[in-house]
Amino acid sequence: MEFYIKVLEITCLHTILVLGAYLMTGLTGLFSLGQGGFVSIGAYTASIAYLHFNVPFPMAILMAVLMGSAVGFVIGIPTLRLHRDYFLLVTFGFGEMVRAALLHLAQLTGGALGIAGIPKVVDLPMILVSILFITFLIYNLKRSRFGRNCIAIRDDELAASLMGINVYSHKMKVFILSSAITSYGGALYAFLIMFIEPNLFNWLESAKLIIITFVGGVNSITGAIIASVVYYSFGEFFRFVDVWRDVLLALAVLFVTIFRPGGIFGSWELSPKNLLRWRVKKD
């Protein structure tokens, strides 16, 4: 039983990170390989605040989120105007920069040795509530003006701007919100796995978040969540073939992009309206 709870904890925590990536990459089409940077920022900010400065846990988490959002804002300023591929690579650069900074500021961060001895304050209910809340927020955004604007920008930035959408400002909101969610996930992560180091979440892990989003279907939050749950729980159940699951993930993604480019779930959402329609159809 212990084991299953642990699997669920890890899985759901990563799902929070996938949701952050979904907002940015799935919905708005901003390809960022730097999500790992925000995970680390969140993790380290919360840990250092808690351990070194005796900040109470909730405050530490809040500080992590604020820090992540602030950094997101600062990084967003020069990068959000860039062409998509440039954006991808500078966000990669950002991730590497965070890693290098964590190594360098060894006094504060413990350098390559990382920070150990973080108490396990986070448990499954906390994570589940977080996921539900974040999903609630993103779902609401998706089905109203914010989400439509995201998709419009993703499809055709020029036409979007001619619909009155301030593309740059909207992207910034997405970026900050996504950074906040990702930093939050990172902060929880630290208090879940009790040990963090600069290599916590490298560019490959960031890339996986993007890939999982695409397998699920960029127009479907449900898809992102399910794909994430399947992938990360599979990895935990089959820990001994950890690296092979990435090979399988890669093959699955290729299969989806070639044969079902909309993602497995396409645009379908697990929403009351859709469930109702499904039930009516069955009758």
Instruction: Tell me the HSE value of 10 on the side-chain side, using a 13 A CA sphere.
Output: 16
166 lines the binding site for another protein (CB under 8 A) = yes
Residue number with CB closer to another protein (60 or 217): 217
Q: Which of 4, 66, 68 is nearest to 38 (CA)?
A: 68
282 lines the binding site for another protein (CB under 8 A) = no
Q: Which stretch binds another protein (CB under 8 A): 11-19, 48-56, 94-102, 182-190?
A: 94-102
Q: How many chain residues interact with another protein (CB under 8 A)? A: 70
204 lines the binding site for another protein (CB under 8 A) = yes
| CB crowding 159-188: b at 16 or more within 10 Å, else e | ebeeeebebeebbbbbbbbbbbbbbbbbbb
Please state, in angstroms and rounded to a whole number, the distance separating the CA atoms of residues 212 and 180.
Answer: 20
For residues 25-44, which are near another protein according to CB under 8 A?
Answer: 29, 31
Query: For the chain, first and last CA: distance in Å?
Result: 39
Residue number with CB closer to another protein (177 or 192): 177
60 lines the binding site for another protein (CB under 8 A) = no
Work out which of 7, 55, 124, 161 binds another protein, going by CB under 8 A. 161
65 close to 91: Cβ distance less than 8 angstroms: no
Instruction: Tell the smallest beta-carbon distance from residue 128 to another protein (Å).
Output: 19
Work out which of 146, 184, 191, 265 binds another protein, going by CB under 8 A. 146
Alpha-helical runs (H) found in 33-56: 35-53
173 lines the binding site for another protein (CB under 8 A) = yes
State which amino acid sits at residue 18: V
Please state, in angstroms and rounded to a whole number, the distance separating the CA atoms of residues 99 and 201.
Answer: 9
Instruction: Tell the smallest beta-carbon distance from residue 131 to another protein (Å).
Output: 15
243 lines the binding site for another protein (CB under 8 A) = yes
Please state, in angstroms and rounded to a whole number, the distance separating the CA atoms of residues 159 and 179.
Answer: 27
Work out which of 39, 190, 226, 249 binds another protein, going by CB under 8 A. 249
3-state secondary structure 163-184: CCCCHHHHHHHHHHHHHHHHHH
222 lines the binding site for another protein (CB under 8 A) = no
Please state, in angstroms and rounded to a whole number, the distance separating the CA atoms of residues 280 and 169.
Answer: 42
Cβ burial, residue 145 (10 Å; 0-12/13-18/19+): exposed
Q: Which stretch binds another protein (CB under 8 A): 9-17, 60-68, 157-165, 189-197?
A: 157-165
142 close to 126: Cβ distance less than 8 angstroms: no
Instruction: Tell the smallest beta-carbon distance from residue 67 to another protein (Å).
Output: 18
Enumerate binding residues for another protein (CB under 8 A).
Answer: 29, 31, 77-79, 81-86, 88-90, 92-94, 96-97, 99-101, 103-104, 137, 140-141, 144-146, 148-149, 151-152, 154-156, 158-167, 173, 203-204, 207-208, 210-211, 214, 219, 241, 243-244, 246-247, 249-251, 253-254, 257-258, 261, 267
